[in-house]
Structure 1
Amino acid sequence: MTASTSIRRSRSRLALAIGAATALAATGTVLAQDAAPAASSSADATELDRVIVTANKRAEDIREVATAITRIGAQQLENINATQMSDYASYVPGLQIQSSGTPGQSQVSMRGIAALSPGSTVGTYVDETPVGSNSLYQQATLYQLDLLPYDVESIEVLRGPQGTLYGAGAMGGLIKYTMRKPDPAYREFRIGGGLSSPRDGETGFNYRLGMNVPLVEDALALRASFARNELPGYVDNLVAGREDINQGEQTSARVSLGWQGEAASVQFAAMRQEIDSDDNATIALDPATRHPLAGLANYVHVSEPFRKDIDHYSLTVDWDMGFADFVSATSYADTHTFMRSDMTLSYGEYPLAFLAMDPTLEPGSAYLENTLDLGQFTQEFRLQSKQGERFEWLVGAFYSNEDGDNHQYVALNRLDGSPLPAPWDGILGVLGELLIPSTYEETALFANGAYRFTDRFKLGAGVRFSRNDQEFRQDVVGGVLLPIGAEDNTSSEDVFTWSITPQFQIGPDSMVYAKVSTGYQPGGPNVVAVGLPSAVDSSMLTSYELGWKSAFDGRRVLLDVVAYQIDWEDIQVASQVNGVSGLVNGGEATSRGIEVSLQWRPVGGLTLGLNGAYNDANIDEDFPPIVVPLDPDLPGGVLEVNTGLKGDRMPYVPDLTLSATVDYYLSLRNGWSASFGGGFRWVDDRTNGTTERQVIAIAEPRTVLQTDITPPLAIDGYGVLDLHASLASERWTLRGYVKNATDKRAYSTMEDVTGALTGVTHHLAASPIQPRTFGIEIDFRF
């Protein structure tokens, strides 16, 4: 039982049809900006487009913002048929995604700040409001918000700590979804659909529709959309013989109402997102060779469904007060997550421990069910100066209240799923059942300012003071893995974060900046168990960043270069003792790196892009050991467990990532246009965790009796080619795409499946990147 669980035919005809549509495609799509001209633009345009972002909570040109940002526009998301973060993450420098193959089962890290605990390290915003828990008991790092990006205007990825403006849980960076807003100036309806087919998998169908309707001329408008995307299965079950077990679907519904007055505007939005997967996209590998045991197939004794539903409501008020602008952003989110994990090859052998009492016992099937429910209310007020003044300032207050439930249940049955024979069904039928209700309440005050001393020099700074109070209850109601009983725990902490950002304009199209900023991951009450501290402190980091943003040749070439060092301390680390997983503050780590983004438009309609990131992220000292007494088994004996050692690489952080992109736009006759593109993405090798060291020793005098060291698994690097092509007019758009065109077999995550009793590894469970997938889409606007 753990408190932080890290588990892991018409086809050929469709492939031929789509293959013909993309046969002329080149390589790449530029994700750093909206680089491809719109259908109505002139193909002779050679200046790269100007891009507006809201990183500093005000609209600014991305070339003038002193921080590292990547903006992905709606057209680019459509071109590559992005349905989840893993579709575009490798094109963003410094962003890493570990996916279990299903949207919503994603771990996100930036610049080497890996997800070592269940608390969030990368924040998520939808427009003006945060989405996702900052509590330690809602598995924020395992189930990052992963929107089906329909009706999304853009996605901004802010790299580096965002503690002063965006607060808790954004110490590694921020992912910000900007949704399309109601517009009272025009009427639009849109409908579309498509098909997709992965190699050796099913054919999936998707459809979408949307509208923007003015209700009162120049004042009130309604925008509504709905999208459904089938996730075609491609993994087979070696136990039951079933094919394509990982099928599922995503749905997205959103409605927003916007009112625009002379001095104020109000927008209300309601959104529901659902993910429903029948099984995980995990396959079995040979532990020795790392080769698939039977292709895209896995040993599944108990099905592993995944469900995630989120209802999100927001109300944003903007008021022009003359001397300044006032913004109120209110939100409420209700999130339900359910996941079942097959534990048969780990805990299914548990009955063998009782063979002396009953020699008829045989290994059985086991599973873990984890249900998470979260209600979250947030409110932000801020007052900010007008755009373009010599002194730009912003002051604000923020409040968040979370009420969460975490239910974990581990069951043991016979191998065929029927109950164990009496009396063992009552003794071992439930290995563990744990309820963890928790609350998280945060209040914060923040201020940011930037003063332009001259036309060339500008100095910015920010501060934020936050306080959070948390309550937690650990209620073990059944099972043999944990003692029955209830324990309460609380915590409170005050956190101060700051930033300072000087920037200097070298010339009209060239700017350098430096940034020193801090961020934090909230601490909180810990699981109550022998050897674990009662609470963990916040993880804190300080980031030093030096950047250069420049444009050349009449804005035909854009170049961004960023170098950084991040010092991370009091790292929260998930550590397991006697089957109980809690947290400890695990020392220090350093992450250093450089990121480069280049875009070039050599001729009208052709855009080339190159993104690269080098990162060196390592643990600076051994994580502190958890010490557990072994009495009465060994008088005076202790078990010392280190879950990370000095020099370990950060889990799932590659040293090098590269991507190369090409987009070509061609204007045709009668208002039609064509575009061709694609991209190549390279991800270096990684490790799946840190080194674990277990020492059995006599405490007084200290005598080491046994030392066991378990290194992490190494995951090979990979390169993937994506292609796309489209034909469009003012009303019609026809797109074709190929993801992973060479059908590269590579893995996003990997872990060993080992018996808890025997310690024998049965196989490695790995989540492959999506196999070669062909797709075709059509849209009609009227």
Structure 2
Amino acid sequence: MNAFKSARPYCPSALSLALATILAGAVAPVQAQQGSDATTLDTVVVTANKRVENIRDVGASISVVGERDLENLGASSLSDYAALIPGMQVQNSGSPGLTSVSLRGISALSSGATVATYIDEVPVGSSGIYQGAGGLMLDLLPYDISRVEVLRGPQGTLYGAGAIGGLLKYVTHAADPGPPEFRAGFGVRAVPDGGQAWNARVGASLPLRDDRLGLRVSAARNGLPGYTDNAVDGRRDINSGEQTGVRAALAWDGDAVDMNLAVLQQRIRSDDRASVALDPDTQAPLFGDLTGRTWQRQPFDKRLTLASLSFDWDLGWGSFVSATGWSDTRTMDQIDATVQFGEVADLLLGLPEPGAAFVRYDFDLDKITQEFRLTSSTGGRFEWMTGVFYTREDARQSQFAWLGQRDGTPLPPAFASFATLAQLALPSTYEEIAVFANGSWRFNDRFKIDAGLRQARNEQWFSQNVSEGILAPIGDAPGESSENVFTWSLSPQFKLAEDTMLYARAATGYQPGGPNVALAGIPPSVDSSRLDSYELGLKSQFAERRAQLDLAVFRIEWDDIQVASSFNGIGGLVNGGEATSEGVELAAAFRATDQLQLGFNGAYTRASVKNDFDPTVIPQDGFDVILNTGLGGDRMPYVPRLSWSATAEYAFATSGGYDGQIGGALRWVGERLNDTTERQRVTAPGDPSTVLDEVVTAPLTLDSYRALDLYAGFGRDRWMLRAYVNNVTDEGAWSSLTPVDGAVSGARVQLAGVPIQPRTFGLEFDYRF
């Protein structure tokens, strides 16, 4: 949430034998089975329902990306593999960690996230609206990760707040008290006409006591080669950076009680963000294909520390689980705001020329969670689960806007008091307690019904503390809110044959609201968004389990959508209105021979605003401004109507004991829009029928694109050498587009385009012993 808005507001303002795992859409992942029949597709387990289950038996749309897939793709962020997951879109704002994620057309239109994030049993990221969760999704460095599970559709009954569009779950490697294992690796990657970077990783799993106690430790460093330049100061490859991570996990395998303790720390650091300056009319680069124009540096830094402790007590007839989590997340994001606020220097202060400006956001989030679950044993006619969940967030957002002269020097002494355009803090708390229950009744071998419910209550407090500046009123303005939320799900499932299941699913979800910023025309609080989802799916394996075809159709009704509303660079959140999303997801995988595996997936999504968003009335001196931030029929931002991917992999082995694989993925993403339509009307005071002026701003169009990724691996026994080329044809396309307008004049100076990753070469070597 912003008391003021700038270029990218935090409003309340990225293939092994199992490449086809990435193809699972409404689809389950596919892997080569290790056994006597090497041409069948393997069984994959997930924990979507907080039980270990065969993905083919879960009546919901789930995708899984495995560890080998991430390695072969050279994945370092969500953007590297998201396009291969049907219905999932990632909007990159210039660095890993500066990402928004949407599933099935449920876009992040506000500062709150629409996709919840878990690491194992622990939720991470904020449920509130003051930590920019919608644009700062966790982008975990995928090392020491067993798999990534993506659950589409609302997951409110088991995962609660923020899972309105679905769930992104990172499942780490557990500590193993069994045989010791060691691993080390090194790699390099480069962008032609750009930078080069190196990465290194090491991990070990060690038994400590009587095959009962195990320790796992790992550390990784991943370099991010830069590839964009800056026209203002001539700097090259400015968006370089690095990701680092360390993890330690301890596991006790007892007779009745198992225990897991883990500590993880990850950091993303980017020197600047990838951004290209574009002509606002033609979208042609103003200074070169990968050249931006900024007067102030735009560093980004995010650090996550997570500690988790879980106990699983086997009661014989069931189990009792306790999952405790504590996380500390600190984020710094600085953006160049010269175009937006630099004109304050000449248009308001009367200086000879515009100035330079930047806005720095600092987010500090301290979060604790506790969940207790009582679960029946698996395999009976009636399976059930009941539990209670508690979380508390103590958070602080700080915003600092600075104004200087165009060359970066301070303002003249007579204007020094205007150097700080805004200095404010937004401390907040979020506290929630919820009870939930899930059950599954098997009527016979073919038919069962799953059902769930959750009752939650959250209480929030915040204060808008403005200590200095001209962009927001000086003073403290506290606010608070509370709400009770009930969500439910129902999923009947029918087995048409042993390997074919037909299912239906109806479910609800919500995105928490909260107290709002204190600004004229902005309501004192924003209500939670609610969502109803209806899905019909088919999961089938045939041809002696060598082929897999999964299909899902869905319709979603979204109400009280939280949207950003701003005027003259100042903004907050409002409840806009309604939207719908409907579509079809298909995925197929076929193991043609022992060596060759093919896959295809696709998604068609039609997501749009149902009616004009409710207007925000902003009183001014002598007139009113009536602002609509979306009009009926608008498409939801960054949601292509059609997207698909096709993959192929050939595995081989030589008589000399060497083996390897060659594969590739072709992905296509359709045309998208960057925003909804904004309509601004100037009316007589208190008389909305007398329109004095009207300005309608249409969204920008991002063209469709396709990209080809290739990889190869070769090894023997304990070592493996891998090579990959991502975006082989060096396709030029945009991940996101942002208009850059003057906050005072309203003049559009340029567009800021974040390119998809250009052609990138990588070489990796791993040794296990």
TM bucket normalised to smaller: over 0.9
1:117-157: CA deviations, max 9, x gaps? 11121001111110110010000011000100100000000
Structure 1 pair 287–692 and aligned structure 2 pair: CA distance change class (3 A): same
1:744 to 724, 731, 743: 731
Residue number in structure 1 paired with 2:399: 408
Q: How far has the Cα of 1:669 moved from its partner?
A: 2.8
Q: Distance in 2 between matches of 1:378 and 1:386?
A: 25
Structure 1 unmatched runs, 5+:
9-21
- The equivalent residue for 2:222 is 229
Q: Equivalent residue for 1:257?
A: 250
- 1:214 equivalent in structure 2: 207
1:376 to 356, 367, 370: 367
Task: State the SS of the aligned residue for 2:563.
Answer: strand
Q: Output the aligned Cα RMSD.
A: 1.7
Which residue is 1:19 aligned to? none
Aligned to 2:592, the other structure's residue is in SS state strand
Instruction: Find the aligned partners of 2:630 and 2:311 in 1 and give their Cα distance.
Output: 47
Deviations 1:558-577 (A, max 9, x none): 11100000000010111113
The equivalent of 1:754 in structure 2 is 741
Separation in 2, partners of 1:144, 1:132: 8
**1:439–1:280 CA distance, 2 compared to 1 (3 A):** same
1:390 is the counterpart of 2:381: yes
Name which of 177, 184, 189 aligns with 2:182. Answer: 189
CA contact (8 A) 2:75 2:81 kept: yes
2:660 — aligned with what? 674
After TM superposition, the score normalised by the length of structure 2 is 0.96
CA deviations over 1:527-579 (Å, ceiling 9, x no partner): 11111111111100000000000011011111110000000001011111343
Query: What is the CA deviation profile of residues 279-302 of structure 1, one whole-angstrom value per residue up to 9, with x for unaligned ones?
Result: 001111122221222121111211
Q: What is the match of residue 340 of structure 1?
A: 334
1:629 to 619, 625, 644: 619
Q: What is the CA-CA distance between 1:628 and the residue it aligns to? A: 1.7
CA distance in 1, matches of 2:709, 2:6: 30
The 1:4/1:738 distance shift into structure 2, 3 A limit, reads: farther
Q: How is 1:246-645 mapped onto 2 (pairs within 5 angstroms)?
A: 246-293=239-286, 294-354=288-348, 358=350, 360-426=351-417, 428-631=418-621, 634=622, 637-645=623-631
Partners of 2:38 and 2:285 in 1: CA distance: 49
* Aligned mate of 1:731, from 718, 730, 733: 718
Structure 2 residue 232 is matched with structure 1 residue 239: yes
Q: Secondary structure at the match of 1:603?
A: coil
- Asked if 1:149 corresponds to 2:136, the answer is no
State the shift of 1:34 in Å. 5.8
- Measure, in 2, the Cα distance between the counterparts of 1:420 and 1:778: 53
Distance change in 2, residues 1:701/1:543 (3 Å): closer
Separation of aligned partners in 2, 1:287 and 1:145: 31
Q: How far apart, in 2, do the equivalents of 1:307 and 1:43 lie?
A: 49
Check conservation: 2:3, 2:472, Cα contact below 8 A.
Answer: no
Hey, what's the Cα distance between the residues in 2 that align with 1:775 and 1:43?
Answer: 35
What corresponds to 2:675 in structure 1? 689
Structure 2 SS opposite 1:77: helix
Q: CA deviation at 1:83?
A: 0.7
1:168 aligns with 2:161: yes
Q: 1:43 and 1:287 mapped to 2: Cα distance?
A: 61
Please list the CA deviations of residues 209-267 of structure 1 after superposition, one character each: whole Å capped at 9, or x if unmatched: 00000001220010000000010111111000111110000001000000001111000
CA distance in 1, matches of 2:241, 2:415: 36
Q: d(CA) in 1 for partners of 2:69 and 2:7?
A: 32
The answer to whether the Cα contact below 8 Å between 2:666 and 2:708 also exists between their aligned partners in 1 is yes
The 1:528–1:671 alpha-carbon spacing in structure 2 relative to 1, beyond 3 Å, is same
Q: Retained in 2: the 8 A contact 1:152–1:179?
A: yes
The 1:5/1:151 distance shift into structure 2, 3 A limit, reads farther
Correspondence for 1:722: 709
Aligned match of 2:751:
764
Structure 1 match to 2:11 = none
Q: Residues 701 and 380 of structure 1: is their aligned pair in 2 closer, same or farther, counting only changes over 3 Å? A: closer
Q: Percent identity?
A: 51
Which amino acid in structure 1 is aligned with residue 316 of structure 2? G
Matched, 1:777 2:744: no
Deviation for aligned residue 1:759: 2.7
State the one-letter code of the partner of 1:751: T
Q: Say if 1:37 and 1:549 are closer, same or farther in 2 by CA, change over 3 A.
A: closer
| Counterpart in the other structure of 2:67 | 74
What displacement does 1:7 show?
A: 4.0
Query: Following the alignment from structure 2 to structure 1, what is the Cα–Cα distance between the partners of residues 95 and 416?
Result: 34
Task: Give SS of 1:702's match.
Answer: strand
**Structure-2 change in CA distance of 1:701 and 1:241 (3 Å):** closer
Residues in 2 aligned to 1:233 and 1:79: alpha-carbon distance in whole angstroms? 21
Aligned match of 2:12: none
Pair 1:363–1:738, CA change in 2 (3 A): same
Letter in 1 for 2:634: D
What residue identity is the alignment partner of 1:256? A
Q: Is the 8 A contact 2:125 2:138 kept in 1?
A: yes
CA contact (8 A) 2:456 2:485 kept: yes
Residue 413 of structure 2: SS of its match in structure 1? coil
Q: Distance in 2 between matches of 1:402 and 1:758?
A: 39
Aligned match for 1:132, one of 125, 138, 141? 125
Shift in CA distance, 448/157, structure 1 to aligned 2, threshold 3 Å? same
What secondary structure sits across from 1:63 in the alignment?
Answer: helix
Distance 2:757 2:333 in 1: 21
Check 1:283–1:503 CA distance in 2 against 1; reply closer, same or farther (3 A cut). same
> Hey, what's the Cα distance between the residues in 2 that align with 1:183 and 1:510?
35
SS at match of 1:417: coil
Do 2:86 and 2:643's aligned partners in 1 also have CA atoms closer than 8 Å?
yes
Q: 2:682–2:693: 8 Å Cα contact kept in structure 1? A: yes
Give the AA of the match of 2:112: G
Q: Given that residues 26 and 723 in structure 1 are in contact (C-alpha distance below 8 angstroms), is that contact kept between their aligned partners in structure 2?
A: no
8 Å CA contact 2:355–2:406 kept in 1: the answer is yes
The 10-residue stretch of structure 1 (769-778 or 661-670) with the greater mean CA deviation from structure 2: 661-670
**Judging changes above 3 Å, is the alpha-carbon distance between structure 1 residues 334 and 701 closer, same or farther for their aligned structure 2 residues?**
closer
**Shift in CA distance, 71/711, structure 1 to aligned 2, threshold 3 Å:** same
Letter in 1 for 2:311: V
* TM-score normalised over the length of structure 1: 0.95
**C-alpha distance in 2, partners of 1:4/1:116?**
17
Q: CA deviation at 1:678?
A: 1.0
Q: How much has 1:42 moved relative to structure 2?
A: 7.0
d(CA) in 2 for partners of 1:233, 1:477: 37
1:12 match: none
**1:684 partner amino acid:** G
Does structure 1 retain, via aligned residues, the 8 Å contact 2:568–2:743? no
